[in-house]
Amino acid sequence: MEVALAALIGIFFVTAVYLMLSPHVIRILLGVAVLGNAVNLLIFTSGRLTREVPPIVPDGMIVADPSIANPLPQALVLTAIVISFSFFAFLLTLAYRAFQELGTDDTDTMRIAEPADEAAPPTGY
């Protein structure tokens, strides 16, 4: 099970990087959303995946049994889901406002701070 999830996490990271390298703002935002899901899945998988025992330490035990899933990554993922959703909503609103002002979602043509008659800045060395 963990091997399949590790492969899925890798696919999510590759997809997120591919989308974030795009010159279009919407693809960049989708890449950020996929990256957040990949990180959440990575954190969740690190806390052991077990179906047999709930993540509750019984009374009288000082150290949890190794078969018990770690509840801390689960709590972190729940918090991260809320934070990543609000961050994505903010970025989506910001991208929509930029599209309203500039009329494009292409980052190469978003040159409002640079005069249009000047040459483009260097893209390499």
pLDDT in tens, 75-108: 888 999 999 999 999 999 999 998 998 888 888 8
What are the boundaries of each domain within the chain?
A: 2-51+69-102
State residue 108's pLDDT score.
81
Residue for token digits 């690190």?
46
Q: pTM above 0.85?
A: no
Which of 49, 45, 66, 47 lies closest to 57, judged by CA? 66
Instruction: List pLDDT tens digits, range 16-58.
Output: 999 999 999 999 999 999 999 999 999 888 877 666 666 677 7
